[in-house]
Structure 1
Amino acid sequence: MPKRKNKTINVPGKIIVVFSLVAVSIFLFFLMLKSFFNRYAYFNINKVTIVGVNESAYRSFARRLFGRNIFSVDLGRLKNQVEQETGDSECVRLERRLPGELRFTLKRRIAIAQVKFLRYHCVDESGMLMAGASDIAYEGLPVIQGLEHKFQQANAKYYALEEAKKILVLIQEKNRMHSLKDYTIIRINLAKQKTSSFFIAENTLPDDLSKDNFSKAQIEVRFDPDKPVETIAVLGLLLEKRKASGNARKEGKGSLAGIAYIDLTNTFSPVVLEKKDKGL
């Protein structure tokens, strides 16, 4: 039986050379095109638009961009730089508008809590530290305790702290809850060896209340950090029910009067422990 001959395909060397020349030509064309866009003065930045916040606070930042080529700037790096310029805004959008305009859309960051390490630092809704610090606590902002070292280690001025996000959800839910508008969260304690808790007080407390009496007026609420939404929902219902009973109002006291602590670690079975009457 005769042997079968294997067919071999011979590609002419000229075709390989032609394809190679075409590929090199295309590469060189795009290289020259990129070089043209990066060097041509027509594409130099001559306008920087900042919307969403007061533009005057960013004049110095904008001046530093003028004259640079719009294609040579790193948009990711620029986004970080504009956020660090004042420390109180977030860049939600950055776009090139040819031939020479950069447009920044910024959103004002809002402080909803604070943390203390050496000094008090504000924390925004995303879990990032804001610019500035104070020797005394910021009025009206809950103090987060137990995450101080996390904020320091995580470089939270530039990156949101994951461990704080659920706690910030708790604060945001409380601020949105109409039934809790008469109460303020003073501090949140995330101790490792015991149940996490936060302390609330009524907004009607006198301004001249002594430190000792102010501490006594705060009511501890024990909770599960993994259930911030459920915790606030149940707390709102409990205090609404207590207010509706009218006992505290008749005695000229607030809805928190007479409470030793509230335990919401199990939101399906909340516990309100009343203070013992000293007269008994």
Structure 2
Amino acid sequence: MIIILLALTALGLVVVWGLGYLMRSDYFRIRDVLVAEGIKDNFSYLKGRNIFSIDLNKESQYISNLYPVYKKIQLIRLLPDRIYINFAKRQALAYVRLYRDFCVDKDLMLFDPVDNIGRENLPIIVGLETKIHGPKSGRKYVIKELALAVALIRQINNNKALKNYNFKIIDVRKPDIVLLILENGPEIRMSQSNTESRVNLLATLFIQSKGALNNIKYIDLRFKDPVIKLKDAK
């Protein structure tokens, strides 16, 4: 029994010494920080620190606050002396027009636009000026109207019959109606409830009216039966 205790004590001392060596050794001091292409910061503040002394989760959160345009940031140790920082971009679903344009993703996070985001293909959500005050990049806004618009855009993007149409504006200004402005097509009006079923109905109407959408002024889906107004109708 005494021998076992002595052996365990010796093992513990070896472990403590080993950990101390890892934490003190210059061999494990960070010399390089590798980042993805396009990231301007070289994160030099990490250099010179012991690679095992860094709390990877804490540093990831810190860098995420600096770069809210990225959904996830992961730090990876590359022994003995390098750190790799991986950036996963947020997927912008639309722009939100406030005092300036912000991007918004499926998590309702606002973030600054980036140059290569394909601005011309993203719808613009309008009507939130009185709902979001002092908007800041990197902040999540759980606003009913914003959540509605984002959910509606996702439903359209997931619908095979609608996903290739260019919806330019999603207007949630009024409390009882959503307006969808289609490029080179009719205005779509729908209530703010049961949007998924109304999107499916809209898809059916688009399939049936293919080739004739330019002749339609608006489609109103707020009622039991859709109302279609032609441009030349009195």
- Common topology (TM > 0.5): yes
Verify the 8 A CA contact 1:90 1:109 in the aligned structure 2.
yes
Q: How does 1:137-216 map onto structure 2 within 5 Å?
A: 138-148=119-129, 150-152=131-133, 155=136, 157-163=137-143, 164-191=146-173, 194-202=175-183, 205=184
Question: Equivalent residue for 2:4?
Answer: none
C-alpha distance in 2 between matches for 1:270 and 1:63: 63
Give unmatched runs, 5+ long, in structure 2.
Answer: 1-11
Give unmatched runs, 5+ long, in structure 1.
Answer: 1-25, 206-216, 244-248
Q: CA deviation at 1:219?
A: 0.5
Verify the 8 A CA contact 1:112 1:123 in the aligned structure 2.
yes
Deviations 1:76-104 (A, max 9, x none): 34324444555543325433344333333
Amino acid aligned to 1:242: S
Question: Equivalent residue for 2:187?
Answer: 219
Aligned length: 219
Q: CA deviation at 1:132?
A: 4.8
Question: Equivalent residue for 1:258?
Answer: 216
C-alpha distance in 2 between matches for 1:29 and 1:39: 15
Structure with greater helix share of residues? 1
C-alpha distance in 2 between matches for 1:41 and 1:175: 53
Task: Give me the TM-score of the superposition, normalised by structure 2.
Answer: 0.70
Q: RMSD of the TM alignment (CA)? A: 3.8
Q: CA deviation at 1:197?
A: 0.5
Q: How does 1:1-280 map onto structure 2 within 5 Å?
A: 37-50=22-35, 55-58=36-39, 60-83=41-64, 87-91=68-72, 93-132=74-113, 138-148=119-129, 150-152=131-133, 155=136, 157-163=137-143, 164-191=146-173, 194-202=175-183, 205=184, 218-224=186-192, 227-243=194-210, 249=211, 254-255=212-213, 257-264=215-222, 269-275=224-230, 277-278=233-234
C-alpha distance in 2 between matches for 1:39 and 1:270: 75
SS at match of 1:122: strand
C-alpha distance in 2 between matches for 1:31 and 1:270: 76
Percent of paired sites with the same residue: 24
C-alpha distance in 1 between matches for 2:225 and 2:46: 57
Q: CA deviation at 1:70?
A: 2.4
Query: In the superposition, relative to structure 1, how do residues 177 and 93 fare at CA in structure 2: closer, same or farther (>3 Å)?
Result: same
Verify the 8 A CA contact 1:114 1:142 in the aligned structure 2.
yes
Amino acid aligned to 2:103: C
Deviations 1:163-182 (A, max 9, x none): 33443232133234331245
